[in-house]
Amino acid sequence: MTVPLAGVPLADHAAVYAALEEAGFTDVWSSEVNGSDAFTPLTLAAAWAPSFGLGTAIAPVFTRGPGLLAMTAAALAETAPGRFQLGIGASSPVVVGDWNAADFTEPYARSRDMLRFLRAALAGEVVDGDFDTFSVRRFRLERPPATPPQILLAALRPGMLRLAAAEADGVILNWLSPGDVPTALAEVKGAAAGFEVAARIFVCPTDDAAYARTVGRRMITSYLTVPAYAAFHRWLGRDEILRPMWDAWAAGDRKGALAAIPDEVVDDLIVHGTPAQCRARVEAYAAAGITVPVMALLPTPALNSGDFPTIRGVLTDLGRA
């Protein structure tokens, strides 16, 4: 499950982690956009739910310096030995440039360089030298973790997918359907044994299809109009079906862009329905080759209620449906 849950203060997440554990969830994964940072919710989980696997999906490679990202990852790996996987990725021009005052340039090269730096630094090595996108002078972790975390790389298209297969311990996918998974996995053939394939899966647990599709359309216009995601879906074969949305968005017609998204696209990319139907869809991702299917809950009237017993009931139904 993706944490933290919307509407529940971080200080109250001990009860969330207990409910997730009781419902049968095994991992909690964070994100980092403009809510909480990627590491604080996992640090709390490490203390409050010591059985959980933990993962970041993702920590951006531009918004922290190499040394700080290594230190932050090392601290969490020391807190939760053997239970933490570090997911890194390029993020987006908005997150990196508009919100964090950094230059979003050469995302492939920066991701590759940070991956190589972290691999060495988290192993306790002295890192001293020039990478293509940054230089590091004699950096060594004072507290290298006894069990270095696996490093997973977020990837959408062939170049980054192949980099993940060649140099990372796994790949993180996002915004794809179960039917799209084989296309992505074809680019990581030849990866080492144990290569992880994580995917964030957006789940709207309601049998009100009209409501779920309204929420889904808003999410799709927020994400798939970002150039990297638009290129990803062209590569997946959705150029023709999504072009009306992209054209309306480029023209400033936000309502038109929402209306241009067919139901079939929403239903492909957003899991919705009863808890049992949602669980079956998530299992379809696993059957397609996803080894770490990570649910991310979208708002529903029940989840927005602020009533924790109701929220816990939703988590229980999703975990045990």
One DSSP character per residue, 276-296 reads: HHHHHHHHHHHHHT-SEEEEE
Q: What is the pLDDT of residues 253-280, one digit of tens each?
A: 999 999 999 999 999 999 999 999 999 9
Rg (CA), the chain: 19
Q: Which pTM was predicted?
A: 0.96
Section 22-27 average pLDDT: 96
The pLDDT value recorded for residue 7 is 87
Q: What is the pLDDT of residues 126-161, one digit of tens each?
A: 999 999 999 999 999 999 999 999 999 999 999 999
Q: What is the pLDDT of residues 94-118, one digit of tens each?
A: 999 999 999 999 999 999 999 999 9
Q: Mean of the per-residue pLDDT values for the chain?
A: 97
The pLDDT value recorded for residue 307 is 87
Residue-by-residue DSSP string for 80-102: STTTEEEEEE---HIIIIITT--
| Phi, psi angles (nearest 5°) of residue 317 | -65, -40
Task: Give percent of the chain with pLDDT exceeding 70.
Answer: 100
Section 29-56 average pLDDT: 97
143 three-class SS = coil
Residue 320 pLDDT more than 90?
A: no
